[in-house]
Amino acid sequence: MNPKNLSVQSKTHKKILKHLKDKKISKIFNQFEKNIKLSKGLAVAVSGGPDSLSLAFLAKCFALKNKINNKYFIVNHKLRKDASKESVIVKNMLKNVGIDCKILKWNGKKPTSNIQSQARDKRYSLLVKECKKNKIKDLLIGHHFDDLLENFLIRIIRGSGLKGLISLSKKTKYKNQNLNILRPLLDQEKEDLIYISKKVFNFYIKDPFNINEDFKRTRIRNLLLSLKKEGLDKKKTMLTISNLKDTDNSIRFYVNKNLKENVVFKEKKNVFILNKNFFDQSHEIIFRSLMYIIQVIGNKYYPVRGKSIKNLIMNINTKSFSKVTLGGCFIDRVNETILISKEI
């Protein structure tokens, strides 16, 4: 890089870090730092919303302070008429503050139903592919506290169990691969991220999908706005979720014990063999153990619905149980053992 370009880059970097002198932004960044362990480089998922723009800014500050090289990716789902145009606008906006983004495009036929779910799966697929290509082990996602609450309420409405209620965590493994999904903004409310976007970029895109009440998540989001006006307390809500996580950790101990003692994995055949003792546990332990195995064999980011797992357990306990498919897996019984293999 020639001296002129280095000078321009240096001025840009100083301009970015100058925003940390703002007390509110500095406080948010300090919490952001606590939620990330230093690595060689991070992948950052960016859209045009205030959450992801704030994430990009905070990740850039983190990279500058720690002298690491991050990769930034915008996913263009091509689900809206202006999506491609907006992707370029966001890319150029970030370039002005020294952030180079690569646009990942979802080509091919688009879904007409279950749109948000399929778009999410495709987004992760594109991002994970880039992480592998760049040998990056940590992918940053812009989920924030409001997303945590939305997810919590949606799972309650669905009748989810304990694991489902607390499924949005600061760190999760992607399909048990060598990739961490990090959510360093879970402590921050959306209004805080809007503040950063306005201060740093004076810009963010309002996704029309976020105000479309055809989607359940939008209706839940509007409900939360009403609850906040009625005094919904962030600290108390976080305490409730924290207590649930403590209980979940205890259950996971016994799930891991069940998987270790009562399951054999035949790697060459890619099949799990469950012995009789596997089912001599409490319902929750059996439920989670099965969910984990099916998720791994089926190679799904999200587990199958709890209702399907419950029906499977009921069927396995009947004498008439015969081979079934679930979550991309074959489940069969041979004498007193259960075999779970990938659906071909």
Buried-exposed string 66-96: b where 16+ CB fall within 10 A, e elsewhere = eeeebbbbbbbbeeeeebeebbeebbebbee
Give the residue among 82, 32, 92, 85 at the shortest CA–CA distance from 62.
32
> Got the DSSP string for 153-191?
HHHHHHT--HHHHT---SEEESTTSS-EEE-TBTTS-HH
Please check whether residue 243 lies inside any domain of the structure.
no
Half-sphere exposure of 113 (CA within 13 A, CB side): 0
Please check whether residue 291 lies inside any domain of the structure.
yes
* 70 vs 163: which has the higher pLDDT: 70
Q: Which of 232, 266, 283 is the last residue of a domain?
A: 232
Please check whether residue 245 lies inside any domain of the structure.
no
Mean local confidence (pLDDT), 15-26: 93
Buried-exposed string 134-167: b where 16+ CB fall within 10 A, e elsewhere = eebebbbbbbbbbbbbbbbbbbeeeebbebbbbb
Judgement on whether residues 71 and 205 belong to the same structural domain of the protein: yes
Judgement on whether residues 137 and 51 belong to the same structural domain of the protein: yes
What percent of the chain shows pLDDT beyond 90?
A: 51
Contact 219/213 with Cβ under 8 angstroms?
yes
pLDDT at 79: 79
Number of domains in the chain: 2
Please check whether residue 237 lies inside any domain of the structure.
no
Q: Hey, is 331 helix, strand or coil?
A: strand
Residue 72, both tokens: 């930034």
Please check whether residue 192 lies inside any domain of the structure.
yes
pLDDT, tens digit, 9 for 90 and up, residues 130-188: 999 999 999 999 999 888 888 888 888 877 788 778 878 898 888 767 899 999 999 99
Judgement on whether residues 256 and 228 belong to the same structural domain of the protein: no
Please check whether residue 238 lies inside any domain of the structure.
no
pLDDT at 305: 84
What percent of the chain shows pLDDT beyond 70?
A: 95
Question: Which range, 37-51, 105-119, 124-138, has the best average confidence (pLDDT)?
Answer: 124-138
Name the residue range of residue 153's domain.
Answer: 3-232
Q: Is the pLDDT of residue 6 over 60?
A: no
Enclosing H/E stretch for 138: strand 138-140
CATH code of residue 193: 3.40.50.620
How far does CA 143 lie from the centroid of its chain?
7
Which residues share a beta bridge with 144?
Answer: 185
Whole-number average pLDDT of the chain: 87
pTM (two decimals): 0.78
* 14 vs 54: which has the higher pLDDT: 54
Judgement on whether residues 39 and 178 belong to the same structural domain of the protein: yes
Judgement on whether residues 134 and 220 belong to the same structural domain of the protein: yes
Q: Is the pLDDT of residue 27 over 90?
A: yes
- Which residues, other chains included, contact 143 with Cβ-Cβ below 8 Å and sequence gap of 6+? 51, 168, 183, 185, 186
CATH code of residue 270: 3.30.465
pLDDT, tens digit, 9 for 90 and up, residues 264-290: 999 888 899 999 999 999 999 999 999
Q: Is the pLDDT of residue 208 over 70?
A: no
Q: Is the pLDDT of residue 2 over 70?
A: no
Judgement on whether residues 194 and 65 belong to the same structural domain of the protein: yes
Q: Is the pLDDT of residue 4 over 60?
A: no
Do the strands 43-46 and 71-76 form a parallel or antiparallel pair, or are they unpaired? parallel
Q: Which of 204, 232, 260 is the last residue of a domain?
A: 232
Judgement on whether residues 227 and 272 belong to the same structural domain of the protein: no
DSSP label of 259: H
CA distance linking residue 76 with residue 48, whole number of Å: 11
CA distance linking residue 242 with residue 125, whole number of Å: 30
Contact 289/260 with Cβ under 8 angstroms?
no
Judgement on whether residues 110 and 25 belong to the same structural domain of the protein: yes
Please check whether residue 126 lies inside any domain of the structure.
yes
Contact 78/105 with Cβ under 8 angstroms?
yes
Q: Is the pLDDT of residue 81 over 90?
A: no
Please check whether residue 191 lies inside any domain of the structure.
yes
pLDDT at 264: 95
Residue 125, both tokens: 């697929």
pLDDT at 101: 94
* 141 vs 299: which has the higher pLDDT: 141
Contact 281/251 with Cβ under 8 angstroms?
no
pLDDT at 1: 53
- Which residues, other chains included, contact 195 with Cβ-Cβ below 8 Å and sequence gap of 6+? 24, 25
Q: Which of 200, 232, 264 is the last residue of a domain?
A: 232
CA distances from 152 to 9, 158, 321, 343 (A): 42, 10, 34, 32
Summarize the chain as % helix, strand, coil (round to 5).
55, 15, 30
- Which residues, other chains included, contact 282 with Cβ-Cβ below 8 Å and sequence gap of 6+? 254
Judgement on whether residues 305 and 176 belong to the same structural domain of the protein: no
Judgement on whether residues 160 and 271 belong to the same structural domain of the protein: no
Mean local confidence (pLDDT), 236-240: 83
> Got the DSSP string for 5-45?
HHHHHHHHHHHHHHGGGSHHHHHHHHHHHHT----S--EEE
Judgement on whether residues 42 and 164 belong to the same structural domain of the protein: yes
pLDDT at 296: 87
Judgement on whether residues 120 and 255 belong to the same structural domain of the protein: no
